[in-house]
Structure 1
Amino acid sequence: MSSEFKITMLGASGVGKTSLLTAMYEQFESTLNEMNLQFVPDSETETAAILAEKLGQLRSLTEEFEATGGVEGDDDIRYFNFDIGNLGKRPFLRLTFVDYPGYYLYPKSDKTHKQFVKDSIAESEAVLVAIDAPALMEKKGKWNEYINRPTQVKILCQSVFQDLRSPKLVIFAPVKCEKYVRNASESEKLIKRIHEDRGYQSLFDFLNSNSLRDKIASVITPVQTVGSVIFSRIEEKEKQPYFYFHKISHDAGYKPQDCEQPLLYLLRFILKLEMEQRKQSWLWLGFVRNWLNLDKDLEKSLQNAVTCNNQNTSIVVQGKNWLEI
C-alpha cells in the first residue's frame, strides 16, 4: 500500500498551472529514470492522455517564431495522479495534483467554486503557486494583480492556514521566465521582485508570522516550461494585455529547464514528513512498517532524488528544517 499526498495547483486563468504541471511531468520522468525510479501517470484515469495532449501544445509553441502564451487550461476540475516507485516494482508513493479552472479565483465566481479551492488547499500537504513572470516583471508589475492575483492568493491562504495541525509546503514557481533567468543577476532581480510589494511580500509576511513560522516551508523555484521561447512585448487592446513571445532562434526547439525542481522540493518535504511521522509512531507500528520495508524503500529511493537546485534560480525562503534530510 502506497502513501498518498495531495498538491493543489494555485493560480488564476492563463497563469500557466497546466503548462507547469505538464512540463514537470515530462522532465521529471527522465530525471527519475536515471535514479532507478519511475514516475507513472495513473492508468485508470485520463492523466496520461491529457498530459500527452498538453505536451503536444507546449511543443507546438516552437513551431512558429512568435507565439502568444502557453497551453490551454480546462473548464473542468482535473485530478492528476502519479505513482512513484522503483523500476519494475510496486509504487510506494502516490501524488495527486488538483488543477481547477482559473476563473474559480475571480471575485464574481460562484461561492461553491471558491469553497472548492479552499477545501482543496486545506486537504493538501503542498500548494504550488504558478506565477506568470512577464506579468510580474514587465511595466513595473502593472499587470501582476490582474494576471496573477497575488492578493486573492494571500486571502485564500489566510482563510485556510489557521490552527494548522501539520506542516505544509508552499512552492512559488514563476513560469514563462526564460528572459529573467539568463544569468545570476537577472535571476536575483526575479527573486527580489517576487518578494516586493507588487509581488507576494504580504503573503510571505503572513507565512512567516509567529503562528505559522514553524509549520510552513516555502521556496521559490523558477521553471522554464519551453526553454527556447522568451517574452517579447505586451500589446494593450481595449484595456486588455496581450503577451507575445518569440523563439531565441528560428531553428530553436522545445527545451524546458528546471521543471523537475518543484517536484524535487516536494519529494524532499514528503520524505521529511515520513521521517517525522516515523519518530512519532508507536513502537509496534514502526515495527510493522519496517517489516513491510515501506520506510526503507522510501528513504533509500528518495535520498538520491532530493538534490535540489543550488543555483541562484532557486531559493528556500523559510522552513529549511522541513526540507533537510
Structure 2
Amino acid sequence: MTDFLVRRIARQPRGAMARIALGLALAVLALGIRLSLAPLIGMGAPFTAFLLAVLVAAVFGGVMSAITCTAVLAAGGVAMLAPFEQPVMLRRGLLSVTFFVASCGFVTWMVALLRAALAREVAAREAERLLKLELHHRVKNTLAVVQSLAHQTFRDTGDVTTARDHFDARLSALAGAHDLLVDSAWRPVTLDDLATQVLAPFRPADPARLVLDGPPTNIPSEVAVALVLCLHELATNATKYGALCGEQGRVRLAWALDDSGPRSRLELEWRETGGPPPKPSLREGFGTRLLSRALSSQAGAVSVLEMTADGARWRAGFEV
C-alpha cells in the first residue's frame, strides 16, 4: 500500500487540462461540503476548511492543480463572506483571503518539494531494480563463458598443468575485458583500447612487430568479451608458435568499418608474416572452435581462420 501511494503521489495526471480539472473538482467539492455544513456551524471562517482540498490537489495533481483549487476556493470564500456591511468585516475578509492564499502557497511549495523527493526515490528504486536485473544477466553470461572455457580447455587434455595455465591465462584476459567494460560503465568501448589492453602482455620489444591499424570504432559491450577471447587466443598462439615466437615475424591487426549497408559492418583481419611454418596448435582443438564460434551470436557474423606459410590469418566480420 505504501509503495502504491508513493508511486501515485510522484506521478502527475497527464496533461494540463487534467490537472486543472482535478483542482476545479476538489474546489467544487470543498465548497459543496462547506455550504452543506453552514446550517450547523454558520458561514464564518470558511477558509480553514478549504486547506485540506488544496493539500489533496497539490499531492495528487501538482502545482497547477493546487493553484486552480486555491483560486476557486478563494473566490468562493469571498462570496460566502459577502456582503461586507462594516469596514471591520471588510478588513477581516481581506485578511482571511490573504492568509488563506499565503497558507495555500506554503502548502503547495512543501508538497512540490515532497513530490520531487518521491520522484527521485521512485527513479532510484527503478534504477536499482534494472541494475539488479542487468547484474543478474551479466553474471549468468560470465559464468556461462567461464564454464565453456573450462570445459573446452580441459577436454581431452593429457597435461593438466599446461591446461590449467591456459585456463588461467584465458580467465585473466576475461577479467581484463571486464575491467575495461566496468570503467566504461558497460557502454561501447573503442576497438583500439580493447586490442591495446588485450595484446599488452604479448607485445615484443620492437613495437613495429605488432601493429594496430584501423579507424576509431566503438564495440558494443556484448561483443567485447568474445573479441577479447579471440585476440588473446591469436596472440598466445603467435607468441608460442607463430610470428612472435622468433625475431623476424610480424603481426598486423587491421579493421575497417563499412557504412554502405543498412547497418554498419566491422571487418577485422589478424595477419601474421615472417614467422615459422605453422604448427597444428591452432589448426585443431579449442583455438579453432573459439575463433570460429565466439562471434557467431552477432548479426551477420563471419569468421575464417587460415594457416598460411607465414602464420595464422584470421578474418572476421559482424554488424555493429
TM-score range, shorter chain: under 0.3
If each structure's helix is expressed as a fraction of its own residues, which one has the higher value? 2
Question: Which of structures 1 and 2 has the bigger CA Rg?
Answer: 2
TM-score w.r.t. length of structure 1: 0.25
TM-score w.r.t. length of structure 2: 0.25
| More relative contact order, 1 or 2 (CA 8 Å, 6+ apart) | 1
If each structure's strand is expressed as a fraction of its own residues, which one has the higher value? 1
